Structure 1
């Protein structure tokens, strides 16, 4: 005996939804009878609908939370990008500088985000945007200050700090105090060239005679040709070392004699001394100070000193302070014209050193010990 299977009727979601609505109105039993359904079917559909509704609500909540997190991440990413591009404004930048950044990056970032990062108001930005071409007297004065300071800094070949720039501006009829100039330099990112360490040149391991220290760290002189000081330094080139010997008059700090050679011999220091003697008219009785290097103890150098009636003086062993003025000159030379330049050939180094000594250092570089005058100007003003 075969059992006849009842064909199962399938219903659409739309039919189920309407059937449940009818069941809500007239009751499950009555609706099932009218629709030729089993009550169990309606209960099952209602249970499934509630479950789907619950899942749907949770999915919506998750989607909403996900969208919110994405929005927050996007805002944070935008803020980080603003910080990355405008980090220099987050220190002590003025509102105007922040507004200028906002205007420049208006397409890339929202005004709301940039205002939040720089802690400025949107209304302030819009006010500045509307009136930015109408500069206030204070802004005009600051702009003029920055221009004067930058020009003096560039004219000084980026070597001068606030004190020397102050003197230069006063001579140009633009007096500002040190603090104002320092703030302007900081605002414009102007930093004078800084120092590095350099190699010591003195070779005092010899058996030659040593002269007494007549200078005794007294670098003051009441007139020219009373005290001279000399020394040698290494200059690195692409072709090997170039050696520079100088003679400085301690009265004005002027380099009065110099010589350069590929070898560090007695001839090098003798040539520098001959130039100094020629330039100064062969004065007698000058204290000529140096370290204890073998070149300065050589017979050739001593013969020159004796022939022109000079008085030789030497530093104590290993004491660089006994010849501090010449060490200071070498320091300035290397900091201001050599260490930031690409390595040069010997010929290029000669030209660079010559220009620094004869044009920059002697004629225009200001010395604090000379009342911020250059060596040549100091002598012009103080020597009859």
Structure 2
């Protein structure tokens, strides 16, 4: 999004996104986010200074001493070469399994050559955690043997019931034959060894209507167009699957003229604060939302008094679709489907919360600044808005 003043959270996320993509340049990340390249470069430089690693060689104790400076540079080159060698060797350990355990194992296998302290510094683990992991080796070996024995019993029960039983029923079967086992342990062993029961895919419900709440009339009537920016918006909530069972939730505010994502917010909850944060973000982007229409479904967040008060304060008129009709909010539903399809790319879930947030952060900004939209003549939303300001009649007819 194009802003004159960037909040500290945006700067931190932009720097984190750049650091999470080793192959990307500052120019590429800046273009993705729609910000000036030198602006991002200055944020990265400031972050380096805060970390105490500005990138330059350490100042020589004897000012002006070329020999000392050269010696410091040579030491730094040797350190970097050693770090590169360590990381190359470590890469083979991270192909699968528990990432932290893999790091500990790498340290254990190479500590004689590089030392525990140096290895922990390079691959980012705590020495105390490594020593604790090493001291528990015997207990882990015993647990591993017990898990191997248990998974044999689990697979026998699983096969006996045509692969339909999950952890609760398998636990009951094992207990009936005299094996005192905990259901959580059965579930853990099944996940570890890839044993799955037959189950229906759970549908995550993000629209929960409140029957007692006041409803706004439908001011859109399935007409998802607008003659100019900042006139009509649609809002919705979708979920981001994280790990095996976790979720984050994304609330969006989409301009119907340019399909620009004017505001959004991500949280680990679906409380009303989430949709209010998205509305406030849109207000910051546009400067003012006075007179605009905000069209949503009948979710409890949007029918709440707090959201109605936020709309009133922003000068926004509320509009709501029919209960249970996704077609009445089709523009928002379509955006959500595109977002999840292009970020997950066939996966069931993001690996962890950090990956989900950074992936969403990058995609949502690229959506506005880079991603071509078929409805906009294969232009990005921000490019379309700029072009309609220069030639409104021609482009409005083409849309």
Q: What TM-score, normalized by structure 2, do the two folds share?
A: 0.45
> Which entry has the higher C-alpha Rg, 1 or 2?
1
Q: What TM-score, normalized by structure 1, do the two folds share?
A: 0.47
Greater RCO, CA 8 A, separation 6+: 2
